[in-house]
Structure 1
């Protein structure tokens, strides 16, 4: 049994990758969730089951929160909780793309302490422990030092560029997109992009691991109001996410319009 929570998450993420790739090779059975919540496959459920069994067996006193497991209030009384997205970016997974990920985190009293984001088809394993830095395949990560919002490369969906979200003109940054929120956070941690943002309510399982990885790479990570993120909430969502180096984050935050 792995001694540390981080080692436990890394081992589980790699096993999840094997399961997902097995089902993908066999042929996916695609269902669609209610309320246009997106597709789900037998691979999502198989990965969820395997992760839940392995992680809770190793840490039976930890709670559990996952996109593909029915939520119960039991986790709210636990000091530590696993927060997991079995496959983040299921649409990409179904479409034969490579930018889908497994996202696994441990939260202690609302703060993420360990996080792993693994992209099996790209062999990218991002990881972090609080106060110990962030890494990709063993290489330490650091956010970019871009401080001019108009020169920044931003990961965001097109609706975030609607003028209603911005106090003045929409900033002149270059926008790109990746379907997986976990991967977006990690790409900014890696310095390949300068910031990521999403204004929609964000599910905790999509962002818990990536938020720690990005923070440990030197970024400021908050919700769209500028509040620092807390996890294992009764309703497991945050008010969006903004992640960037401190100066760029400040420039983004001061230009945003926020209404409840």
Structure 2
């Protein structure tokens, strides 16, 4: 059941936080991943090792997809799969920021049924199970109802406002903010701290899976950049961007985007 999966994810996220916090603020080994995929630290690997030992042993029939584990296509044969980012925002974690997160989810036949985003340095645990609503530290959360782009404050990296992403080359006039962790951006929209978020480049499933459910269970709409619902555990675990907001603002943003006919835009 999603409820028991959620309890499992919450316990695992808190243990991940204990491990990661022990590394925070001290020198640690780090490496650059191949093909410009970003840094990884010994803390990422330690958290991943704990999760990979603990979660599959608790759910032997589930598949496994994690940023820090070499992908195994066996997951495609499983109805349910863990989708894990041991530390989302590794670069900011290594730099001493407090806005990195653990992102843990379970997807059932492509749909997320339980998700947790945990920021241990801020004592913020966002959680949701399908059909049960979304919470922050056990209290219900809800998206805002901003109905126009002029009213909205949207979390987005600056390159997302390039003219070539938008119809007629005109970017929206919303107020822009940014946080380095994509999972945290989605959680902040679910919390109602910001009105929407978007990222228009291909994005990894492990950055998004937990936030997709939390945002939708908080009353929001979350899709790819074309407006299609997100599906997970794909052979290539990348999605065509993410747009998340309350329903009215989401419709406005999707309507303003210039949809490329071929491929993805960075």
User: Structure 1-normalised TM-score?
Assistant: 0.98
CA distance in 1, matches of 2:86, 2:79: 22
DSSP 3-state at the match of 1:93: helix
Structure-to-structure mapping, 1:89-238, within 5 angstroms: 89-168=89-168, 169-238=170-239
Partner of 2:4: 4
Match for residue 256 of structure 1? 257
Report the count of equivalent residues. 259
Any idea what SS the aligned residue of 2:48 has? helix
The one-character-per-residue Cα deviations of 1:157-206 (angstroms, maximum 9, x if unpaired) are 00000011111321110000001000000000001000000000010000
Q: Distance in 2 between matches of 1:172 and 1:154?
A: 10
Q: CA deviation at 1:150?
A: 1.6
**Deviation at 1:34?**
1.3
Rounded Cα–Cα distance in structure 1 between residues aligned with 2:26 and 2:101:
19
Q: 1:151·1:172 contact (CA, 8 Å) conserved in 2?
A: no
**TM-fit CA distance, 1:239:** 0.1
Q: Tell me, yes or no, if structure 1 residue 45 matches structure 2 residue 45.
A: yes
Deviation at 1:27, TM superposition (A): 2.7
- Structure 1, unmatched stretches of 5+, are none
Structure 1 CA distance for aligned equivalents of residues 111 and 185 of structure 2: 20
SS of the residue corresponding to residue 97 of structure 2 reads: coil
Q: How does 1:61-72 map to 2 (within 5 A)?
A: 61-72=61-72
Deviation readout 1:20-77 (Å, 9 max, x if unpaired) = 1112255311111112211110010110010011001100110000000000110000
2 CA distance for matches of 1:26 and 1:92? 13
> In the alignment, what sits opposite 1:18?
18
SS in 1 for 2:104: strand
What's the TM-score, normalizing by structure 2? 0.95
1 CA distance for matches of 2:37 and 2:66?
Answer: 15
* CA distance in 1: counterparts of 2:37 and 2:74, whole angstroms: 24
**Structure 2 unaligned runs (5+)?**
none
Paired residue secondary structure (1:4) = helix
Give the Cα–Cα distance (whole angstroms) in 2 for the partners of residues 26 and 131 of structure 1.
41
